[in-house]
Amino acid sequence: MKVLQVVDGYGWGGTKEQVYLTTRELKKKGIDIHIALSFQYQQMVEKLKPYNVPIHYFENHIKNARYRIENYRRLIKIIDENRFDIVIGNSPHAFDYVRVSKIFLKTRPKIINVKRSGRIPSFLSKYLKYSAADRIVVVSKSVEKILREKKFLPEKLVTIESGIDLSRFKPEPEKKEYFRKKIGLPVDKKIFVNVANWNPEVKGQDRLIRSFLQADMPDAVLVLVGKDTDKKTKELTKQYGGEDRVIGLGFREDIPKILNASDYFVLSSFLEGIAGALLQAMATGKVVISTLAGGIDEYLKDGYNGFSVEVGDFEGLKDKMRYVAQMDKNLYKKISHNAVKTANHYSIENTANKYIRLFEEMLNG
């Protein structure tokens, strides 16, 4: 079986993390898996180098890349010359490339689209684009339910939950002070952390910052990690005040250390798939607070392994932040233990095994 992962653009976030992890695990499990990506995407190349995954370059990721015919020609050639059995489009834009290329292919691979949120595409997009997929993988049962209720190609839907790398994300409470000093975080404060590339329309970071400052916890700081959080956090805290209570670290590679340096994790998203960053925080034993976006309600149980609010309830988020900051140590330990136990069900190994079963089913009819 020969499989091609197709990725557009570059940078790092939840989608790119999942592509990297599933590619790595499938390769380790003996699948002949390749990856097609942009010429500019050296970060993914470096991460996959130890696993000898064949790399193919098709996208010159410049302005209006999706409208440049040479990008499609290169992808078509890659697929036909390598005679892949399965081609996976890992984002809406990556699937644009796959869908158009399919029209001109001489070979006939099975096509998978990975849909990571419950956002419903338009009528035209549904029939002109997504109907070309043989299977549509969604990352949570909640997202699948939403799509089925909207009659979005239900015969093609398959749930494969996103996984996390449990070898990297694990509790290390004894190193909390050491990590804080190394990263430059205050040693004497309670630390809330949010991990997400800056995207307020989806991740709600602007509202989170405001709610945190309104919670008025002088002994606590909020740390935001992800692309552009350093610049945008400074801009907002100048408006709201509280520059000394909100820290933007920007993009970082050392997320496990940052999580282990913190006390609490807070997610304010309006839209999610399975929320890998939240599961990573739970795997490190953090007490978490999150909106119930996407598939989060499948594993986050309020008062058992963390705390939750409805999507958009920033008043409730503020109250929960105040509550956990005053939490009894024994209750913290209990919820932390339950969080780790929950996260352990979402290993990337389980995700890869489910993909292999799907591949076998598709190829064996």
Question: What domains sit in the chain, N to C, each tagged with a CATH number?
Answer: 2-163+347-363 (3.40.50.2000), 173-343 (3.40.50.2000)
For the chain, 365 residues long, give each residue's pLDDT as a single digit of tens: 999 999 999 989 889 999 999 999 999 999 999 999 999 999 999 999 999 999 999 999 999 999 999 999 999 999 999 999 999 999 999 999 999 999 999 999 999 999 988 788 899 999 999 999 999 999 989 889 989 999 999 999 999 999 999 999 999 999 999 999 999 999 999 999 999 999 999 999 999 999 999 999 999 999 999 999 999 999 998 888 888 899 999 999 999 999 999 999 999 999 998 899 999 999 999 999 999 998 899 999 999 999 999 999 999 999 999 999 999 999 999 999 999 999 999 999 999 999 999 999 999 97
Crossing angle of the two packed helices 92-104 and 69-82, in degrees rounded to 10: 70
Distance, in Å, from the CA atom of 324 to the CA atom of 302, rounded to the nearest integer, reads 12
**CB–CB of 284/253 below 8 Å?**
no
The sign one gets for the Cα dihedral 258, 259, 263, 268 is positive
What are the Cα distances from residue 218, in Å, to 188, 191, 242?
11, 11, 10
The pLDDT of residue 142 is: 87
Pairs from 99-107 (Cβ < 8 Å, separation ≥ 24): 99/129, 99/132, 99/133, 100/72, 101/72, 101/75, 101/76, 102/132, 104/72, 104/76, 105/76, 105/79, 105/80, 106/80, 107/79, 107/80, 107/83
How far apart, in Å, are the Cα atoms of 197 and each of 11, 205, 232? 10, 9, 11
Phi, psi of 24 (to 5 degrees): -60, -45
pLDDT score, position 298: 92
Per-residue pLDDT, 208: 97
Per-residue pLDDT at 150:
92
